A and B are shown apart, each in its own frame.
Chain A
Amino acid sequence: MSRKTLIPIGPYHPLQEEPELFKLYCDGEIVMDIKWETGYNHRGIEKLSESKSYDQVFFLVERICGICSTSHPFAFANAVEEIVGVEITDRTKYIRSIIGELERIHSHLLWVGLAGHFLGYNTLFMWAWKYREPVLDLFEMITGNRNSYAMFKVGGVRRDIENSKIPAIRKVMAVMRKKLDLLTGAVMDDPVIHARTKGVGILTRQDILDYGAVGPTARASGVDIDVRRDDPYAAYPLVNWKVITAQAGDVFAKVEVRLLEMYESASIIEQCIDALEKMKEGDIALKINEIPQGIGTGRAEAPRGEVFHFVVSDGSNSPARHKIRAPSYTNIATFKKSCIGQTIADATISLAAVDPCYCCTERMAAAYDNSSGKKILNASELIELSMKRTSELRKSGAGHE
């Protein structure tokens, strides 16, 4: 039994929707060694960024990740505002935090669903994604888009959250808490889920510190780090919330941390909209005419962990250097610790547990009915349909069942 079998996970595999290749060297069902290859998705964003103006870079970095699409603009805005040396208005801070936390809820729900799918629990997958819909509706109502919200710019945000929209947000949050209770109950009390996730893929506190892992992956191992608290930005110092940690470091602890974080996010959003209601509408952007020479660093807590942006400005209208570090970059390295010695079944859920970032939000193509030749829907009709729906949502408000 000394020969090791290579079990490939990727580049195209149902576990990782994104092209990544994990090579599991197995002895029977036990994973003896793991190697991975990434880079299938390299798009040269840092270089692209140097050829775009500061306003355009926001749209570019938003497309690094389809799921946490606000965390990158968030960090970039923090970096550029550090160069300019301005303090954004309070209303902007609250709006930015609302967007950031809504995104955390939808991202964590998405992950819970996917984790269920990886465990073969497709009902959990469908339920979690259904509960995620109202959040996306809310995004569509506030920003006009379900993903890639295009909300941020230097010194402010592009759209206000008017007082007329606040009741809808409040309603969705109330509904959300009930759904979260249901989901948390279903996951935390299921003995089979316990059997599948407890004691699986354990990362100790020391492993986290050695590999520099961030976000829920670190917090599930008892490492109490969160950029929102440690390096305060936006409205996070202005509201009450706490950093969720767990001690066990296994997959179950990661599930637990993410589920409980969603409650904190809901609470942050509720406090932010309470504050927004008391303010004057429209004070959402500072006028910034030029970016001076300088160096800026921006950090933001994405749903997967710390996002870091480093920007060098030479005084022109585009960054001279733009360095980005996404959380998955450090988190993926922990696989060496969490997967070796596990069975294949445990290794796959351990791979998924750090929530490696999938950057693949795809669009539908035009479809024709073969028998009648009738056009079912083409791109422009889809866009028209989506615009119609957005305008309806803006009028009626989100939050339907």
Chain B
Amino acid sequence: MAVYLLWFFIFPGLLFMAVAGAFLSWFDRKITARVQFRKGPPLLQPFYDFFKLLLVKETIMPKSGSGFVFLLAPLLAVFGATMAGLFILLPLFNIETGFRGDIIVIFYLLTLPSFSYIIGSLASGNPLAAVGASREMKLIISYELTFLLIMAAVIMKSGQKFDLDSIIAAQQSGTPFIGSISGVLLFIAGVFCIQAKLALVPFDMPEAEAELASGIYIEYSGPPYAMIKLAKYIMLFILPAFLVALLMNGMNPGINIVWLILKILGVVLLLTLIRNTNPRVKIKQAARFFLVWMNLLVVIAIVLIALGL
């Protein structure tokens, strides 16, 4: 029992993921600043941001709506992100093997933060938040099918393995999946899915600063908003880690931790560059992008896998 609590709260759970995610968030902001001729924040800025919100700022409750649901949603987001992260990181770090079908559980847990944002923003009763929530819903409907198809393709490629540990093992005994044409196609679709899951530009329409003034998060302040930030940090770490586990060989035993870090940093760098070289698209365009083009890409990849490429 104690070891489970240790896993959940310390390593590789909440604390570790939060610290790693905060570092990645700094990395993202620093690269962004460099691209934009700015100096960028100091290394500890994400921590300052988080602790300022948690300890200093007050919580302002919206007058209308349900206060309980409003406050519960950020906690739910953190919980979902941490649980998903556990199921991803335990096999990735060779701590525990997981169970048959855990990849499906990960898929559902990864949607939990997005759903809790929707619930929380609708509970706030703000019209801008409502528009943001409706956009987030449409966005989820758009990218989830692609995400599911990617996982189906990976399961096919690994020879009907339904747990992350076996998928990683299949890559380590053979070649990483990204080393094939189908793997590259899956990687492209995967990166865009992560972009949408993290709500980064060009898929940041749920928060769309200039249109909705942060949309779904508009009513959040103080500690609840700190929780949302925490969930975002964690997601920024575990989603690239998940992609690395699915397609890029995970982590070999031994000192290959450096490789793992470089791979995750590489994926985050890609996300950052995409978000800095594109304007925000409209929700309709995003839906078409995923439902038509990305799904087509993954279906092609599945056909290639069936052909053995």
Interface residues, chain A, CB within 8 Å of chain B?
5-8, 13-15, 26, 28-29, 116-127, 130, 190, 192-193, 195-196, 343-346, 348, 352
CA distance A14 to B209 in the complex (A): 7
Is B281 an interface residue, CB under 8 A from the partner? yes
Residues 255-290 of chain B: 1 if any A CB is under 8 Å from the residue's CB, otherwise 0? 000000000000000000000111111111100000
Residues 122-156 of chain B: 1 if any A CB is under 8 Å from the residue's CB, otherwise 0? 00000110110011000000000000000000000
Known: A13-B213, A345-B208. A120 touches B283 (CB 8 A): no
Contact of B130 among A5, A116, A125 (CB under 8 A): A5
Count the A-B residue pairs with Cβ separation under 8 angstroms: how many?
85
A-B residue pairs in contact (CB < 8 Å), sample of 17 = A5-B131, A7-B127, A8-B128, A13-B213, A14-B213, A15-B210, A29-B134, A117-B210, A118-B211, A120-B202, A120-B209, A121-B201, A127-B36, A130-B37, A344-B211, A345-B280, A348-B211
Give every chain A residue within 8 A of B283 (Cβ-Cβ).
29, 343, 345
Give every chain B residue within 8 A of A124 (Cβ-Cβ).
279
Is B84 an interface residue, CB under 8 A from the partner? no
Known contacts A29-B131, A119-B210, then 18 further A-B pairs from the complex at CB < 8 Å, ordered by chain A residue: A5-B131, A14-B213, A28-B134, A117-B210, A118-B211, A121-B201, A121-B279, A122-B36, A122-B201, A190-B279, A192-B202, A192-B281, A195-B281, A195-B285, A196-B281, A196-B282, A343-B282, A345-B280
CA distance A196 to B208 in the complex (A): 14
Determine whether the beta carbon of A192 is less than 8 Å from that of B279.
yes
Contact of A120 among B135, B279, B284 (CB under 8 A): B279
Complex interface residues of chain B between 179 and 234 (CB less than 8 A to chain A): 201-202, 204-205, 208-213
CA distance A6 to B126 in the complex (A): 10
Complex interface residues of chain B between 275 and 309 (CB less than 8 A to chain A): 276-285
CA distance A352 to B209 in the complex (A): 14
Q: How far is the CB of A242 from chain B (nearest CB, A)?
A: 30
Determine whether the beta carbon of A345 is less than 8 Å from that of B282.
yes
| Most chain B beta-carbon neighbours within 10 Å: one of A26, A28, A118, A130 | A118
Interface residues, chain B, CB within 8 Å of chain A?
32, 35-38, 127-128, 130-131, 134-135, 201-202, 204-205, 208-213, 276-285
CA distance A140 to B296 in the complex (A): 56
CA distance A397 to B156 in the complex (A): 66
Known: A6-B127, A120-B204, A192-B202. A348 touches B210 (CB 8 A): yes
Give every chain B residue within 8 A of A190 (Cβ-Cβ).
279
CA distance A331 to B284 in the complex (A): 29
Contact of B276 among A29, A118, A122, A195 (CB under 8 A): A122
Give every chain A residue within 8 A of B213 (Cβ-Cβ).
13-14
Q: How far is the CB of A134 from chain B (nearest CB, A)?
A: 13
Determine whether the beta carbon of A120 is less than 8 Å from that of B280.
yes
Give every chain B residue within 8 A of A121 (Cβ-Cβ).
201, 278-280
Give every chain B residue within 8 A of A13 (Cβ-Cβ).
213
Determine whether the beta carbon of B205 is less than 8 Å from that of A345.
yes
Give every chain A residue within 8 A of B131 (Cβ-Cβ).
5, 7, 26, 29, 344
Give every chain B residue within 8 A of A125 (Cβ-Cβ).
36
Q: How far is the CB of A354 from chain B (nearest CB, A)?
A: 16
CA distance A71 to B202 in the complex (A): 37
Q: How far is the CB of A4 from chain B (nearest CB, A)?
A: 11
Task: Sort A-B residue pairs by CB-CB distance and give the 10 closest, nearest first.
Answer: A120-B280, A126-B36, A119-B279, A121-B279, A118-B210, A348-B211, A123-B276, A120-B201, A345-B282, A15-B210
Q: How far is the CB of B276 from chain A (nearest CB, A)?
A: 5
Q: How far is the CB of A94 from chain B (nearest CB, A)?
A: 33
**Which residue of chain B has the shortest Cβ distance to A193 in the bound complex?**
B279
Determine whether the beta carbon of A346 is less than 8 Å from that of B282.
yes
CA distance A346 to B205 in the complex (A): 12
Q: How far is the CB of A182 from chain B (nearest CB, A)?
A: 13
Give every chain B residue within 8 A of A344 (Cβ-Cβ).
131, 211-212
CA distance A107 to B89 in the complex (A): 51
CA distance A124 to B283 in the complex (A): 21
CA distance A390 to B206 in the complex (A): 44
Q: How far is the CB of B209 from chain A (nearest CB, A)?
A: 5
Determine whether the beta carbon of A120 is less than 8 Å from that of B208.
yes
**Which residue of chain B has the shortest Cβ distance to A191 in the bound complex?**
B278
CA distance A277 to B52 in the complex (A): 58
Contact of B210 among A5, A6, A120, A126 (CB under 8 A): A120
CA distance A265 to B284 in the complex (A): 38
Determine whether the beta carbon of A15 is less than 8 Å from that of B279.
no
Determine whether the beta carbon of A196 is less than 8 Å from that of B211.
no
Contact of B38 among A5, A7, A116, A126 (CB under 8 A): A126
CA distance A116 to B283 in the complex (A): 18
Give every chain A residue within 8 A of B277 (Cβ-Cβ).
123
CA distance A122 to B202 in the complex (A): 11
CA distance A125 to B205 in the complex (A): 18
Determine whether the beta carbon of A127 is less than 8 Å from that of B37.
yes
Give every chain B residue within 8 A of A123 (Cβ-Cβ).
35-36, 276-277
Q: How far is the CB of A367 from chain B (nearest CB, A)?
A: 17
Determine whether the beta carbon of B279 is less than 8 Å from that of A116.
yes
Determine whether the beta carbon of A15 is less than 8 Å from that of B211.
yes
| Most chain B beta-carbon neighbours within 10 Å: one of A8, A118, A345 | A345
**Which residue of chain A has the shortest Cβ distance to B214 in the bound complex?**
A14
**Which residue of chain B has the shortest Cβ distance to A28 in the bound complex?**
B134
| Most chain A beta-carbon neighbours within 10 Å: one of B131, B134, B279 | B279
CA distance A364 to B129 in the complex (A): 32
Give every chain A residue within 8 A of B134 (Cβ-Cβ).
28-29
Q: How far is the CB of A348 from chain B (nearest CB, A)?
A: 5
Give every chain B residue within 8 A of A26 (Cβ-Cβ).
131
**Which residue of chain B has the shortest Cβ distance to A13 in the bound complex?**
B213
CA distance A109 to B134 in the complex (A): 34
CA distance A123 to B283 in the complex (A): 21
Give every chain B residue within 8 A of A14 (Cβ-Cβ).
209-210, 213
